[in-house]
Chains A and B, each alone.
Chain A
Amino acid sequence: MIHWIRGAQATFGFELRRALTWNRFLVAVGLAIFPPVMLNVVVRTAFVSNSVVAADVTKYSEFAMIFLVALVCILSLLLWATPNVQSELEGKTWNFIAVRPGARIASFLGKYLLAVAISMAVSFVALAGCILVANSYQGFKDPLKTLHSLAIIYTLACFVYGAIFSAIGTIFIKRAMVVAAGFMIGFETFLALVPAVVSKITMSYHLRSIGLEWIGNFLPETTVPEYTMAYGQPWPVSIHMACIVIMTLVALMVGMIVITQRQYVTADQT
């Protein structure tokens, strides 16, 4: 266990050092400023055309804070968590790492934590930016409470989707990112919106339910009673959180089992 912890720490530090390049920094900044910039453009355009009312600004802000920030959070996780094994195999560095005791798991955990940390940072900056933009046009109702609630929801999202994408990265070596994106679109988007019990197995359902509880309704064109009629009465927040934590642990466990069992061989090693 101590090997895993120290190895994960070492991987986190090493990968972070590798990540500190202008290219990667600009990608992260680009992702982080995308939602506030978009929000600003939309609201400013609406003001120019003189068609905006206070309720619209709130609506646009909620859209940016929830859907656009979620988008950049997922994109960041796809970029950082999914190619955990693929990058080592393609870079021909896998064998240097894998021949250390417990290093497969340590590397997996270290890269997972780094992906979560970077994606959380990107999401928080994007979130704070959106609130600042919204606040500059009109007094945003309870900005700190919204920031606090959404920050927790994005933290949970980073941990659970980071774990799922990392596990996908250990299973699908060549097209892990495509599979993970497909999973997000098919499973976590469409299936999560199906008004049936089956949607409850998706993580976005649980994250959405926590959001509904903490910051109220945010689904466009829906009222809370309609939502409840479609998806049933939400469970207590603690149950949703427990589901997310369990899924995170299960995904990490699957990833760790696969990475230790799988025979990864680079093409020029046979």
Chain B
Amino acid sequence: MIELNGVSKLYKTVIGVNDISLSLGSGVYGLLGPNGSGKTTLINLILGQIKPTLGTVRLFGKNPWRRSYLLRRVGLCPALEFSYPRISSLQWVTYLVRMHGFTQYDATQKAIEALKQVRLDHVMHRPMTECSLGMRQRAKIAQAIAHDPELLILDEPFNGLDPVGRFEMTALLKQWAADGRSLILASHILHEVEAVDPSFLLISGGRLMASGSPAEMRRILADSPDTLSIRTNDPSRLAAYLAKDAAIKNLKFSGRDAIEIETLSASSVLRQLPAAATEAGIEILEVISSDESLKTLFSTLMKIHRGEIETRVSG
């Protein structure tokens, strides 16, 4: 479906993406990266909106640059925030569907159907400037799915959505994936993407740092430096038991019933806990990975990239 070979994009002296090679078949992908990491540039390259400075891009087997007919098969929801005064969601979505070559009648029907799918039909005649950020976000999703594309690309789709909206959006995307259609979900928040259970593409500083399944990502996280907070009935004995592990960098007591462990490999510590419970009879009440976030993951990947940590990561 998508192939990039040694793709780099320079904006004068600023690198947008740097030597990215990947091959994506049909499926669900989470494009993860901090703000400014090159996610949007990568999406624009895939859609042929910009030309790579180096390398080649293929979308459905063809170079997307100047082949805008390929875009009939793609729906994009950009992260950009905008509003049209006096224009309703229905008018806007209808207009964008008509740009695909549909007649006014067909476009209106498709727009209404899409707005129903994102549960915006009850306010579809309301001017967009009078809609909340979440409603406008749903309208943006509607314009992306209205023409029934094969591949849906969403850039930060959860922006502005309240918890109920997020839940509904996740359900919609899960249904989209369950229908066998492809999805690329770009975000800087791990758990939002994780909810759709995609394969991950991790991008930082314009580079593809890693790619893999959710299980592989969890393994990377488990094998990476982390800070664990463990609540137990006997912090001293547990500290003594775990201190034998060479992976522990730092250990400190936190209150009367907890210890905080800074470790080079969270998984090696976690593996010892059942033994501590059974052999030493220490009661383990709670284990919290205080730092299991995208930030940690990227910091780990950067260290792997620089050779500071050895691990097996694809990508």
Smallest CB–CB gap between B131 and chain A, Å?
Answer: 16
Given A6-B103, A92-B81, CB of A99 within 8 Å of CB of B98: no
Query: Is residue B249 within 8 Å, beta carbon to beta carbon, of the partner chain?
Result: no
Cβ-defined contact, A101 with B40, below 8 A: no
Q: Name the residue of chain B whose CB is nearest to the CB of A95.
A: B78
B86 surroundings in chain A (CB, below 8 A): 17-18, 20-21
CB <8 Å contact, A17 and B87:
yes
Quick one: CB contact mask for B41-55 with A, threshold 8 Å, 1 for yes? 100100101110000
Is A17 a contact partner of B68 (Cβ separation < 8 A)?
no
Say which one of A39-47, A151-159, A219-227, A261-269 lies at the interface with B.
A261-269
**A138 in the interface (beta carbon within 8 A):** no
Contact A2 B101 (CB under 8 A): yes
Q: Check A100–B99 contact: CB distance below 8 A.
A: yes
The reply to whether A97 and B99 form a contact with Cβ atoms under 8 Å apart is yes
Contact between A99 and B80 (Cβ–Cβ < 8 Å)?
no
Contact A17 B91, beta carbon cutoff 8 Å: yes
Q: Number of B interface residues at 8 Å Cβ cutoff, please give it.
A: 40
| Closest Cβ–Cβ distance, residue A169 to chain B (whole Å) | 19
Provided the pairs A266-B80, A269-B44, A270-B16 are in contact, do residues A10 and B87 lie with their beta carbons within 8 angstroms?
no
Q: Which chain B residue lies CB-closest to A9?
A: B98
Say if the beta carbon of A260 comes within 8 Å of chain B. yes
Question: Which of A3, A107, A269 is B80 in contact with, Cβ under 8 Å?
Answer: A269
**Is B66 a contact of A260 with CB atoms below 8 Å?**
yes
Shortest beta-carbon distance from A90 to chain B in Å:
10
Let me know if A99 and B71 touch, CB within 8 A.
yes
Within 8 Å of chain B (Cβ to Cβ): is A106?
yes
Chain A residues 1 to 54 lying within 8 A of chain B, measured CB to CB, are 2-3, 6-7, 9-11, 13-14, 17-18, 20-21
Known interface pairs A97-B96, A103-B99; 6 further A-B residue pairs with C-beta atoms within 8 A, sorted by A's residue number: A96-B82, A96-B96, A99-B47, A99-B76, A260-B68, A264-B49
